[in-house]
Chains A and B, each alone.
Chain A
Amino acid sequence: DAGITQSPRHKVTETGTPVTLRCHQTENHRYMYWYRQDPGHGLRLIHYSYGVKDTDKGEVSDGYSVSRSKTEDFLLTLESATSSQTSVYFCAISPQVNSGNTIYFGEGSWLTVV
């Protein structure tokens, strides 16, 4: 298994509170990604990082921010959680972006916003 650890694995939070999900990797891979998965929508990219302090938006970035201060850690923050952000969040990593390298996923973080 790819060395990816997500925390927390399960969280229930109230609307309007800030939430931070952490992704930690031991593979020293350059690229890290945050996806969310919802019924009927599949996996959608929220944000990604191509190096320390280098991040960019994905297709569903509104309401989310990220930070990457170390190669091994990629944080996803919901500044003010809303019920629409109830979802399963997957972190993923990749060494490079050329054709020969694929993306491997962490075990997921289940977030419920009530």
Chain B
Amino acid sequence: QKEVEQNSGPLSVPEGAIASLNCTYSDRGSQSFFWYRQYSGKSPELIMSIYSNGDKEDGRFTAQLNKASQYVSLLIRDSQPSDSATYLCAVKGEGGKLIFGQGTELSVKP
């Protein structure tokens, strides 16, 4: 079992819809979770971090964490074509190392 798992997609949503991206992780002791966005040919950029169970909102983005289920998700409200990218889930492991899922490709159609 991979340490961090995401559906590779592509996930296609219409403009204005809610995009839901999901991630599961295997290390029950993990405490820090991150979502990165990566445009084609570019480096990953941090969009959300979450450390406690529940929801964390930042503009159109909401991260959700459920440690009991070892599940973290990212919701993007009012999706825009500019949100089309690959979204990477990352979990902080031993020594501060980030362990990444393989990423979910999101396509927002006008």
Contacts and interface: CB of A to CB of B under 8 A. Distances in A.
A43 B88 contact: yes
Given A48-B95, A50-B95, A107-B43, A102 B49 contact: yes
Interface stretch (A16-24, A62-70, A72-80, A91-99): A91-99
A102 B46 contact: yes
Contact of B43 (A40, A41, A97, A106): A106
Contact of B92 (A42, A56, A99): A99
B70 interface: no
B24 to A, nearest CB: 14
Contacts of A104: 46
Contacts of A108: 42-43
A43 B31 contact: no
Interface in B91-108: 92, 95-103
B81 to A, nearest CB: 23
Interface string B30-61: 01101000000011111001010000000000
B103 A42 contact: yes
A2 to B, nearest CB: 10
A94 B46 CA distance: 13
A94 B92 CA distance: 12
Contact of B88 (A42, A50, A98, A102): A42
A105 B101 contact: no
Interface of B: 8, 31-32, 34, 42-46, 49, 51, 88, 90, 92, 95-103
For the complex of A and B, the 4 pairs showing the least CB-CB separation, nearest first, are A97-B96, A42-B102, A43-B100, A105-B43
